[in-house]
Amino acid sequence: FALGLLAGRHVLINAGPTREAIDPVRYISNYSSGKMGFALAEAAAEAGARVTLVAGPVNLTTPPRVERIDVVSARDMLAACEMALPADVFIASAAVADYRPAEAADAKLKKDPGSDSGMQLELVRNPDILATLAAHAQRPWCVGFAAETHDVLSYARDKLQRKNLDLIIANDVSQPDIGFNSDDNSVTLIDRSLHQQHLPQASKSKLAREIIHLIAGYLPAQPE
Ligand code: C5P
């Protein structure tokens, strides 16, 4: 594997889910394992990059030579990513919660013992971390993921354009043996000129190396 491919580059990666507090003991989150992002961080470090990995709550060990910053909520993740700029590349593999409770209660919410009625939880939109970094004054080369259950490639192309990305990695999460929580994945990369490249099912670490290799090929040459 091409060892010095990313020498001198700073690669910023986010990974895992975010947790959005309802009260001190409850939250909204998702099933993201963070495995793909950690595999990408490992592969980027192997390729010689300086790697900053901003991680939501996951049960994974930090790859060698990777600087890891742990966060909980989407807003914390955005702040940590912005703090890590400038970067040559940003790979947004995190499954950021799209919404958070409008207010996190200071004390544990109690159910009304005298009633069987339900409750309403008001949600507000979270910031889009990837779109924010893609519009930043210190804009890195931006890579997004599109995890979809249907019309995978057309949604991915739409996200590439809407979020102004350089590359999107489309991922069919309707198949149980690949994607979200599994060890294998199969993806299709789509670049700005809508050139498509399919990477067949393989372990996330093998795919991560292939993805890092392809990303390195897109980067503008470094000043001498
Ligand atoms: O719009 P959607 O969530 O499907 O887009 C997926 C891509 O956008 C992923 O790369 C994800 O990390 C990123 N994203 C983000 N902030 C959000 C939602 C998604 O950075 N609030």
Neighbour tally for 132: CB within 10 Å: 13
For residue 22, give every residue at least 6 positions away whose Cβ sits within 8 Å of its Cβ, in sequence order, or none: 28, 101, 104, 105, 109, 121
Judged against a pLDDT cut of 70, whether residue 180 lies above it is answered with no
Helix (H, G, I), strand (E, B) or coil at 66: strand
Contact present, 84 and 133 (Cβ < 8 Å): no
Confidence of residue 123 (pLDDT cuts 50, 70, 90): very high
- By most ligand atoms within 8 Å of CB, the mutation choice from 81, 129, 142 for ligand 1 is 129
Enter the tokens of residue 96.
Answer: 């950021």
Judged against a pLDDT cut of 60, whether residue 113 lies above it is answered with yes
Mean pLDDT of 46-55: 98
Structure confidence at residue 222 (pLDDT): 84
145 Cα nearest atom in ligand 1 = 10
Contact present, 25 and 92 (Cβ < 8 Å): no
Confidence of residue 1 (pLDDT cuts 50, 70, 90): low
Confidence of residue 55 (pLDDT cuts 50, 70, 90): very high
Question: Which amino acids are annotated catalytic?
Answer: 30
CA atoms within 13 A on the CB side of 91: 28
Structure confidence at residue 177 (pLDDT): 76
- By most ligand atoms within 8 Å of CB, the mutation choice from 128, 133, 145, 161 for ligand 1 is 128
Report how far residue 164's alpha carbon sits from residue 170's, in angstroms, rounded to the nearest whole number: 15
The 10s digit of each residue's pLDDT in 126-155 is 999 999 999 999 999 999 999 998 999 999
Q: Ligand 1 pocket: which residues have CB below 6 Å?
A: 74, 92, 94, 96, 98, 126, 128-130, 144-146, 159
Does the interface predicted TM-score (ipTM) exceed 0.95?
A: yes
